[in-house]
């Protein structure tokens, strides 16, 4: 099977489309089930973050698989297919593999080198395996990509700058509020973004940190880690009046804060400066909240512009080199493993032809002595062995070349072997 990728991200689609296509955590299993429902898709892995929606599939029928993925994205979101086609990128085998290695290292992120993507890729793999959607092909791909990411982060400084969407968002809040020390913060959502925001706010000396979640246990856990206070599920609205900062990053399918609630809360607060950081996809906060007096609303799109102006962190070039090397090594191993069944199929085909001809010879020369028959069989076997020796050796050598798969497919076609089985 080949590895294919069908993806949409912040570079190919406007934030409004990404928001509509977003797959909340609660619908991941449904999405994976839809992806693997088509016979062209053998395995699937879904990576859904605040600025990308990516499907990696193992398939022997790339055109059908790509069309099905686009159809699935559109169907899940209720978006016309032509809108998805207008924003989608399709990558095959080497390009798809290298892409996931780059993504896992944070080299394709809005915040280059960000750390959250590592946990997101790991979570995507776990979800795919639990749903029975990821098998040996995609499991091996994701695990190798994560190992490549670890090596790049260990050997370079690409991840040491600590820049992420959360860092950038809190930097904006710091500028608006004149510092975060002593500020009262409300965190809604306790995933990777919420937990990181809690730690950064603690380190910045925030005065109060209130943590809200759909589950009380999650809120208590994060609050306990930063010396904050857990808020009962659904009981955080009154805190909008007394806090200076909101960080919202839930997985809700609809908005959790509307403009009217914000307007009432900030009126009671005397329209004091307030920053609302909406780091969710789809958005948690009604965009009209930004029109409320005293409120500065910052979302993913605004943060993208902030990060774009910061330039690339040091060592990106070295990290790119490591990732490219690791991806190439993974691809070489895949090609080498595909040679074995191909050679077995080639020798089996030769053995089949030899057996047929020897049987025909036996029918034509029934009086052939046993010794002569054995000599004939041995001679034919030596001839076939010598004829197959060079293509067998060359197939192993060429498998590791950049265009190795082309040679293997040519060999399969020349001898009428089953390419899909040879590469499974």
- What the chain holds in terms of domains, given with CATH numbers, is 2-155 (3.30.460.30), 165-308 (3.40.50.720), 329-422 (no CATH)
Residue 190 labelled as part of a binding site: yes
Given pLDDT bands bounded at 50, 70 and 90, which one contains residue 314?
A: low
pLDDT value of position 419: 46
More confident residue, 350 or 207: 207
What angle (nearest 5°) sits at the alpha carbon of residue 22, between those of residues 223 and 70? 150
- Residue 416 burial by Cβ neighbours in a 10 Å radius (0-12, 13-18, 19+): exposed
**Structure confidence at residue 45 (pLDDT):** 98
Polymer length of the chain: 424
If you write DSSP's letter for every residue of 154-188 in order, what string do you get?
Answer: HHSSTTTT---HHHHHHHHHHHHHT-STT-EEEEE
- pLDDT reading at 268 higher than 90: yes
- 116 labeled part of a ligand binding site: yes
The string of pLDDT tens digits covering residues 195-238 is: 999 999 999 999 999 999 988 999 999 999 999 999 988 889 89
Q: Which residues, 6+ apart, have CB-to-CB distance to 225 below 8 Å?
A: 195, 198, 199
Select from 28, 23, 57, 21 the least CA-distant residue to 40: 57
Whether the per-residue pLDDT at 88 is higher than 80: the answer is yes
- Tens digit of pLDDT for each residue in 101-158? 999 998 988 878 787 889 899 999 999 999 999 999 999 999 999 999 999 988 987 7
pLDDT at 376: 87
Q: What is the DSSP string of 225-278?
A: HHT-EEE-TT--GGGGTT-SEEEE----SS-SB-HHHHHHHHHHTTT--EEEEE
- Yes or no: say if 73 and 21 are a contact pair by the CB < 8 Å rule: yes
Distance CA(423)–CA(406), nearest Å, equals 12
More confident residue, 161 or 110: 110
**Token reading at 136:** 């040996």
Global model pTM greater than 0.85: no
Structure confidence at residue 313 (pLDDT):
63
CA distance 59 to 92: 10
Which pLDDT does position 424 carry in this prediction? Answer: 42
For residues 78-89, average pLDDT: 95
Q: Is 370 part of any known ligand binding site?
A: no
Mean pLDDT over all residues of the chain? 88
List the single range of 37-51, 81-95, 107-121 with lowest mean pLDDT. 107-121
Which pLDDT tens digit goes with each residue over 91-114?
998 899 999 999 999 898 887 878
The whole-angstrom separation of Cα 424 and Cα 410 is 17
Mean pLDDT calculated for residue range 38-59: 95
CB 132 within 8 Å of CB 318: no
pLDDT score of 421: 43
Q: Tell me whether residue 255 is annotated as binding.
A: no
Q: Is 191 annotated as a binding residue?
A: yes
Non-local CB neighbours of 414 within 8 Å, separated by 6+ positions = none
pLDDT of residue 403: 64
139 known member of a binding site: no
pLDDT number for residue 121: 96
Catalytic site residue from 50, 105, 243, 289: 50
Q: 176-202, pLDDT tens digit by residue?
A: 999 999 999 999 999 888 999 999 999
* Residue 311 pLDDT greater than 80, yes or no: no
Question: Mean pLDDT throughout 284-308?
Answer: 90
Of residues 159 and 207, more confidence is placed in 207
Whether 420 shows a pLDDT value over 60: the answer reads no
Q: Residue 49, annotated ligand binder?
A: yes
Instruction: Of 115, 61, 122, give the one whose Cα is nearest residue 92.
Output: 61
* 117 in Cβ contact with 104 (< 8 Å): yes
Predicted local distance difference test score (pLDDT) of residue 422:
41
Asked about 105 being catalytic, the answer comes back as: no
pLDDT of residue 418: 62
> Between 256 and 401, whose confidence is greater?
256
Buried-state track 331-363, b at ≥16 Cβ within 10 A, e below 16: beebbeebbeebbebbeeebeeeeeeeeeeeee
Nearest Cα to Cα of residue 180 among 170, 193, 168: 170
Cα four-point dihedral sign 292, 296, 300, 305:
positive
Is residue 284 within 8 Å of 216, Cβ to Cβ? no
pLDDT value, residue 317: 87
Find the range with the poorest average confidence among 53-62, 239-248, 307-316: 307-316
Q: Is 337 annotated as a binding residue?
A: no
pLDDT of residue 163: 61
Q: How confident is the model at residue 57, as a pLDDT? A: 97
CB-CB contact of 239 with 258 (8 Å): no
pLDDT, mean of residues 263-279:
94
How far is residue 50's CA from residue 6's CA, in Å, rounded to a whole number? 17
Q: Is 160 annotated as a binding residue?
A: no
Q: Give the pLDDT of residue 288.
A: 95
Residue among 146, 186, 210, 352 at smallest CA distance from 278: 186
Is 51 annotated for ligand binding?
yes
Q: What is the pLDDT at residue 178?
A: 95
Give me the mean pLDDT over the 363-391 stretch: 85
């Amino acid at each position: 099977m080949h590895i294919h990728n069908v993806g949409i991200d912040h570079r190919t689609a406007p934030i409004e489309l990404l928001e509509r296509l977003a797959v909340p955590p609660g619908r991941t299993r449904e999405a994976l089930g839809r992806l693997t429902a088509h016979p062209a898709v053998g395995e699937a892995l879904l990576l859904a973050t605040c600025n990308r929606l990516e499907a990696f599939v193992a398939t022997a029928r790339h055109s059908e698989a790509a069309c099905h993925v686009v159809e699935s994205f559109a169907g899940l979101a209720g978006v016309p297919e032509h809108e998805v086609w207008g924003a989608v990128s399709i990558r095959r085998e080497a390009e798809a593999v290298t892409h996931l290695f780059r993504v896992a290292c944070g080299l394709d992120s809005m915040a280059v080198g960000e750390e959250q993507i590592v946990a997101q890729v790991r979570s995507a793999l776990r979800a795919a395996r639990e749903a029975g959607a990821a098998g040996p092909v995609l499991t091996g791909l994701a695990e190798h990509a994560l190992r490549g990411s670890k090596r790049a982060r260990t050997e370079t400084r690409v991840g040491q700058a600590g820049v992420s969407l959360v860092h950038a968002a809190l930097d904006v809040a710091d500028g608006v509020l004149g510092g975060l020390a002593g500020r009262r913060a409300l965190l809604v959502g306790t995933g990777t973004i919420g937990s990181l925001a809690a730690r950064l706010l603690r380190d910045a000396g925030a005065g109060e940190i209130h943590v809200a979640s759909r589950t009380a246990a999650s809120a208590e856990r994060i609050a306990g880690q930063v010396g904050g206070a857990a808020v009962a599920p659904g009981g955080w609205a009154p805190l909008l009046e007394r806090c200076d900062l909101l960080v919202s990053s839930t997985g809700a399918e609809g908005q959790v804060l509307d403009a009217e609630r914000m307007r009432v809360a900030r009126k009671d607060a005397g329209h004091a400066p307030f920053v609302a950081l909406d780091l969710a996809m789809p958005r948690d906060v009604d965009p009209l909240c930004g029109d409320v007096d005293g409120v500065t609303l910052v979302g993913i799109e605004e943060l993208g512009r902030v990060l774009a102006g910061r330039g690339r962190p040091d060592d990106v070039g070295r990290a790119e080199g490591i990732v490219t090397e690791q991806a190439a090594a993974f691809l070489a191993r895949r090609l080498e493993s595909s040679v074995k069944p191909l050679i077995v199929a080639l020798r089996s085909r030769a053995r089949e032809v030899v057996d047929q001809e020897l049987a025909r010879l036996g029918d034509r020369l029934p009086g052939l002595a046993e010794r002569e028959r054995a000599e004939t069989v041995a001679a034919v076997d030596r001839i076939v062995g010598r004829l197959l020796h060079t293509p067998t050796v060359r197939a192993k050598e060429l498998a590791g070349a950049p265009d190795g798969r082309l040679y293997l497919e040519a060999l399969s076609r020349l001898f009428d072997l089953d390419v899909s089985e040879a590469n499974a």
